[in-house]
Chains A and B, each alone.
Chain A
Amino acid sequence: MKRVPAPDDQQPDSFAFTAENAAKAEQIIAKYPPRRQASAVMPLLDLAQRQHKNWLPRAAMNTVAEMLDMPRIRVYEVATFYTMYNLAPVGEHFVQICTTTPCWLRGSDDVVSACKNKLGIDLGETTADGKFTVIEVECLGACVNAPMMQVNDDYFEDLTADSTAAVLDALARGDKPKVGPQGGRHTTEPSGGPTTLTDFMGDG
């Protein structure tokens, strides 16, 4: 899906790191040799995005460019290339549903429709109250617990239409739903319980 940067009237005039984040940024830059500080562009953009309601305004890119002594366009190139930098405002809960083959085979269509029904928005849209944005993404690397979705930094896995709705409800209430597999299994154990080396359990 084509990402469209926020129009000018949504772009803040300025951006500055908080004292805490500025210190973190110093630390990040210090990891790289002198005159190689441009290597810090990606973590710094991430830091800026986390500070700025999960999206990256142009002012923040300019600030990063200045901190790293880079031409602005070089920062814009990085920020637009990587899809995990959001160029326009997103909801408080940024829902990314994996629809790549393993998740799709395991029922990601149900997850997508559960989100659409529950929130009343289509993929790529944000709810009117600004609480949720739902997008479709490619593989997030949790195929063993497919289907799954990521909300901000948390993975919710082994989803069904019902468990998806339950997670969204909890988030809407302001609760913190349990992250990880929603179907009862522990992390990536086989869904029917452990099957390997079980004979030795308890005998040793």
Chain B
Amino acid sequence: MPTLTIDGQEIEVEANTTVLQAAEELGIQIPRFCYHDRLSIAGNCRMCLVEMEGPPKPIASCAMPVGEGMVIHTNSEVAIKARKGAMEFLLINHPLDCPICDQGGECDLQDQAVAFGRGDSRYSEHKRAVKDKYLGPLIATSMTRCITCTRCIRFATEIAGVEELGATFRGEETEIGTYVEEALTSELSGNLVDVCPVGALTNQAYAFNARPWELRKTESIDVHDAVGCNIRIDCRGNEVLRVLPRLHEDVNEEWLGDRSRYAVDGLGLQRLDRPYVRVDGKLKPASWDAAFAAIKARMDGADGGRMAAIAGDMADVEAMLALKEMFTALGSPNLDCRQDGAKIGGKHRGGYIFNSSIAGIEDADAILLVGTNPRWEATLVNARIRKRWLRGGLAVGVIGGVMGSNDDLTYKYDYLGAGPATLTEIADGSHAFAKVLADAERPMIILGSGAVARDDGAAVLDLARRVAEQNGMISGDWNGFNILHRAASRVGGLDLGFLPGDDGRDVAGIVAGAGKGEIDLVWLLGADEIDMQALGQAFVVYQGHHGDAGAHRADVILPGAAYTEKDATWVNTEGRVQLGRRAAYPPGEAREDWSILRAFSAVLDQPLPYDSLAQLRQHMVEAVPSLGEVDEVGPGEMGAMGVAGDVSAAPFESPVADYYLANAICRASAVMADSSRLYLNGEEATGTDG
């Protein structure tokens, strides 16, 4: 462990640390453009030059490994002069267009030019201009502003795993781009906007919308998948203008999938902003009282067993708890939060969460993916697997889930087979990959939610558990038995026990019952992914925020709040409890979901025992203590899960047919529609790519 002196302070750091990192440990900030702590080191911007005693010239601190006895001055005359020189060169070709640049106000170059720039320019020659590039419908480019730091190239190559960006030509003519004009094929492309230190790559959907100082920033949680990415929601007035990732090392690091970032325009479109009641076959606007009265009329005197509730993929824990307690009070055992029909849940938490945790992927040395395409189902889990794979020594086996042209997971894997038969072979040890798992120190199975959402789901779950137990996936402090969910509400719902009670019906049973006239009333809490046609003559209450499939079928619509509009609890696929915060108010007469249910319970004369969110949360933690442990993870308790039985020969298919249109918010978003047309159907984007 070498010891060095930086600005008079002595520090001992790990060998292979760079001078810049050592300085950071001391809290000394060295300016930089090309250096990014999650990307490889390029050392080409020269902004991080510092003085080192000994060599005659300043050194690039981002690329210089520490050495015993080094003496570094980060703010000496030499260092500052060197940085001023580097800044002057960077600004030679950089346009002075800050007033019309979207990066203005949050631009590294702007900030550092204030510190190290000259007041005037000594440069009177020709300034270069670079043709703007087309990188798809999500990223706006202004390549004349580019300082060729190559962060975007390194991000695309290393983190996103799509080698499509490069630096072409040379010297002054160097250009960053794809050479052949093509959209980047990555679900992480929005992060290029974040890594770009200047205004060369900016957010196309947010272009010319706002300045950073006008925005109110709210730290919250993303619900577009079950990863539970930490986000920052930027609003002006009551309008959500953009969503940015927020640092959480164990969940999303500092990245965010494109769906989470770019579907925000959908929050302002197709919204349910007032209650509706179906009159003579047509939905008519109504007051809250009229809507509640219409439902009450159907419920009064009705048998609880003929009512049912289904929670959708973006329902928050508080609303699900309120709905569950209301239906339990009504005597209905017909509750289900598993819209996709997954055969999971029950008393053993280990049977439905991602036990190893997402960060735990980095400790694994063999991964078996079953019936999942993590790139689409949980983009940042996939990025984590790629991160682990890049380090070497990781074997990945895939059974089903990865299909057709969508077979690039950004890392190498062995395709073992399409269906449960292969899983059976691994379970009985006759498959070659069983040996890989058995020899691995920390093997892991990732079972996609699609693999258990089939008729033989319980048998598949049992099979997966056997694979895990027989291959040492559960030993000591290591639990490599993982379920990868894709709905933000799912683990929370399972924790609450939003499941069929005694003799209760599950989702399939509810839908079939409604079709046959055995269920009279179905309450959909944001549930849009079930077959609405099959609900027959049942009276459907849709409580949610978007006019999607559920609202079209509904007899009464109760307008709820989207995830940006409520303080709510979410549990991600790891079982990590996280709190989302309200960034804006729901539109029109829409209300937070738990309060709608509380109000309706009073109409039924069976008021729920809480009048405020705080009381509800207290009640919730009393009912399910784990929901009070915010941001804690650990392996769930294991036990019997699934049902031993025959598995079908049908191949595992990933349930996500279109990454860009996976939920009601995305389906309302014009940006997502463009992306889907371009990436899935190969059509050129229109409309928003102006």
Contacts and interface: CB of A to CB of B under 8 A. Distances in A.
Interface of A: 2-3, 58, 71-74, 76-77, 80-81, 83
A72 B165 CA distance: 10
A77 B173 contact: no
B169 A73 contact: no
A133 B632 CA distance: 70
Given A3-B169, A80-B170, A71 B164 contact: yes
Contacts of B173: 2-3
A178 to B, nearest CB: 35
A76 B168 contact: yes
B178 A73 contact: yes
A73 B150 CA distance: 14
A71 B163 contact: yes
Interface string B114-141: 0000000000000000000000000000
B179 interface: yes
Contacts of B163: 71, 73-74
B169 A80 contact: yes
B170 A73 contact: no
14 contacts: A2-B169, A2-B173, A3-B173, A73-B178, A74-B163, A74-B166, A76-B179, A77-B166, A77-B179, A80-B169, A81-B168, A81-B169, A81-B170, A83-B170
A6 to B, nearest CB: 12
Nearest to B181: A8
A180 to B, nearest CB: 31
CB-based closest 4 A-B pairs = A71-B163, A73-B166, A76-B179, A80-B168
A2 B171 CA distance: 10
Contacts of A72: 179-180
Nearest to A5: B179
Contacts of A3: 169, 173
B26 interface: no
A58 B163 CA distance: 17
User: Chain A contact residues: over half helix, strand or loop, or mixed?
Assistant: helix
Contacts of B170: 80-81, 83
A77 B163 CA distance: 12
A151 B179 CA distance: 29
A58 B180 contact: yes
B167 interface: yes
Interface string B493-508: 0000000000000000
A3 B170 CA distance: 10
B179 A80 contact: yes
A110 B66 CA distance: 56
Contacts of A2: 169, 173
A193 B178 CA distance: 56
A68 to B, nearest CB: 13
Interface centre among A3, A73, A76, A80 (most CB of B within 10 A): A73
Nearest to B166: A73
Given A73-B166, A80-B169, 16 more contacts: A3-B169, A3-B173, A71-B163, A72-B179, A72-B180, A73-B165, A73-B179, A74-B163, A76-B166, A76-B179, A76-B180, A77-B166, A77-B167, A77-B179, A81-B169, A81-B170
Nearest to A71: B163
A126 to B, nearest CB: 21
A95 B313 CA distance: 67
A86 B166 CA distance: 19
A76 B173 CA distance: 14
Interface string B589-620: 00000000000000000000000000000000
B141 to A, nearest CB: 16
A72 B164 CA distance: 7
A131 to B, nearest CB: 28
Interface in B151-186: 163-170, 173, 178-180
B186 to A, nearest CB: 13
B195 to A, nearest CB: 18
A131 B382 CA distance: 55
B409 to A, nearest CB: 16
A3 B179 CA distance: 13
Contacts of A83: 170
Contacts of B169: 2-3, 80-81
A77 B164 CA distance: 11
A15 to B, nearest CB: 15
Contacts of B167: 77
A75 to B, nearest CB: 9
Nearest to A80: B168
Contacts of B178: 73
Interface in B371-404: none
Contacts of B180: 58, 72, 76
A73 B154 CA distance: 13
A72 B179 CA distance: 9
A80 B179 CA distance: 10
Contacts of A74: 163, 166
A62 B166 CA distance: 15
A17 to B, nearest CB: 21
A99 to B, nearest CB: 18
A74 B179 CA distance: 10
A198 B678 CA distance: 77
A74 B165 CA distance: 9
A58 B168 CA distance: 13
Interface centre among A3, A71, A80 (most CB of B within 10 A): A80
B353 to A, nearest CB: 37
Contacts of A58: 180
Nearest to B164: A73
A4 B168 CA distance: 12
Contacts of A76: 166, 168, 179-180
B179 to A, nearest CB: 4
Interface centre among A3, A58, A81 (most CB of B within 10 A): A81
